[in-house]
Amino acid sequence: MIYGGAAAFAAAGFTALWLPPAVKGFCGDRDTGYGVYDLYDLGEFSQRGSVRTKYGTRAELLAAVAAAHAAGVRVVADTVLGHRLGADAPQRVTATPYADADRTVVAGRPRKILAHTKFTCPGRAGRYSGFVWNAHAFTSVDVDGGRRGGRREHPPRVYLIEGHAFAGGVSTERGNYDHLMGANVDLGRPPVVAELLSWGHWFTATTGVDGYRLDAVKHMDAPFYADVWLPAMRAAAASPARIATAAGPPPPPPLPAAAAGEAAGGGGGDSVAATVGGACLVDAPPPPLFAVAEYWSPDVRVLTAYLAATHHSVALFDVPLHGRFAAAAAAGHCAASGGAGSGGRSRRAAATAATPPADLTTLLDGTLVAAAPAHAVTFVENHDTVAGAALASPVAGWFKPLAYALILLRAAGLPCVSGATGAVWMRAAGGATYRLVTVAAVAARDAGGAAASGIANGGGGGGGGGGGRVLRVAADGWAAFPVAARSVAVWVQDP
């Protein structure tokens, strides 16, 4: 899809493509890539039941990146460095059980357990790296393989391996949220850090990617990416050696100003993004390496604290905004839903009384795009939030076009559009000034920009009118920009 469609992505106005994890997962070609087994297997070796990954072979990956670059589209690679699954052999270790619900609570005496911690990757046979992952490289595991059936205890436990400690620079959820799943990588061990640096240099040079999406950073010691891994990757990417290397394709040529998020109408930094078949497009800043981290928290204070702790070296997904979209969609949907007949009308009336439509004038309150717009990647849904996913918080279908209009028709933030949500692609030029309006007759201050836009939920509408409707701004610069209920209206200034 990417190899044959890169030109279409570029023509649609997208300037960067976020690829899912391209490494071999423990479920082979059925694994999404987040259950990491071997970072060096990009679909090249017969391991875990397949040669290819879920997304293809190494050759197909490199061809896709080269095609994207040829079309002037940058590539952002999803990167999962915090855990491993699918060990080739267990090891008997001494470990202390901790309560899964609170990892500061010791749940038993140290004891011998069978830990799934030895990764020999026999299909690769040491090619690219001879490093063998074993119990010395991991902080903890969540299964004692020596138990009958190899199942988790109830209540669940996390086993801290003797000689290791949970990291400090992680989320304080569950007391200490260092351990996420499987065998938890110990980022405090110099040999482990050296191996992850070596892999990063190899992967960047081999693929020629232009940035990284950093998975599950709330479970990883914050200084690792901010002070060690990203500075090393960026220094290498900025060096003449990388530009001249034959290990991977060269970086793409500079993009035109409009494609990079600047329109002739003015400055600004908004940009466009999309996802197709699970791969998400996000307009990344210029090289050396763009980085957006996934820190899943609805509290903007937690996100801004992480930005400060990492010296603002990364962008973050705006999880609070996504939550507000989901809540607004649910409220508006309740206010307008109901079956046919009197029973349906009664249910609709009761739902309306219990759940009034959301106030869209406060939709951006408490969001990252409001607090730190230069470091916010805005999104409506993604692979983690759709129904049935681990962090399921789906946005009702009727509201998605409105939510996408909001993130795409604003200068603040880097919008990310996900094809996994079934949304329609939309295109927006950056730089122009856009103002949010809610329902009819809500005044929006005209700041002299080229356009104004508005969205409305299920409340009473004043109508946006058809194309060609003219609205004159008062001499004092104020005007009411009407927008119909459950719709989007964009007003463009006459030349």
Neighbours of 259 (CB within 10 A): 19
- Are 72 and 255 in contact, with CB atoms under 8 Å apart? yes
Which residues make Cβ contacts (< 8 Å) with residue 240, sequence separation at least 6? Answer: none
Residue with token string 């129904």: 387
Which residues make Cβ contacts (< 8 Å) with residue 244, sequence separation at least 6? Answer: none
- Using DSSP's 3-state secondary structure scheme, residue 120 falls into coil
Q: Give which of 104, 97, 246 is closest to 174, Cα–Cα.
A: 104
Q: Give which of 168, 158, 157, 220 is closest to 192, Cα–Cα.
A: 220
Active site residue: 100, 294, 381, 384, which one? 294
Distance of CA 195 to the CA centre of its chain: 25
Q: What's the rounded Cα separation, in Å, for the pair 480 and 440?
A: 7
Q: Give which of 93, 100, 111 is closest to 178, Cα–Cα.
A: 100
Residue with token string 């210029």: 286
Q: What's the rounded Cα separation, in Å, for the pair 290 and 257?
A: 18
Q: Give which of 271, 254, 290 is closest to 427, Cα–Cα.
A: 271
Q: Give catalytic status of residue 476 as yes or no.
A: no
- Are 128 and 202 in contact, with CB atoms under 8 Å apart? yes
Neighbours of 238 (CB within 10 A): 13
**Does an H or E element contain 68, and which?**
helix 58-70
- Using DSSP's 3-state secondary structure scheme, residue 351 falls into helix
DSSP 275-293: EETTEEEE-PPSSS-EEEE
> In this structure, what DSSP letter does residue 463 have?
-
In terms of C-beta density within 10 A (0-12 exposed, 13-18 middle, 19 or more buried), how is residue 182 classed? buried
- CA torsion, ordered 298, 299, 304, 310, to nearest 10 deg: -60
- For the record, the structure tokens of 492 come out as 């463009």
DSSP 193-252: HHHHHHHHHHHHHHH---EEEETTGGGS-HHIIIIIIHHHHHHHHHSHHHHH-SSSPPPP
Q: Give catalytic status of residue 153 as yes or no.
A: no
Q: What's the rounded Cα separation, in Å, for the pair 49 and 28?
A: 6
Residue with token string 């020629």: 208
Active site residue: 31, 88, 186, 215, which one? 215
The residues assigned a catalytic role are 215, 294
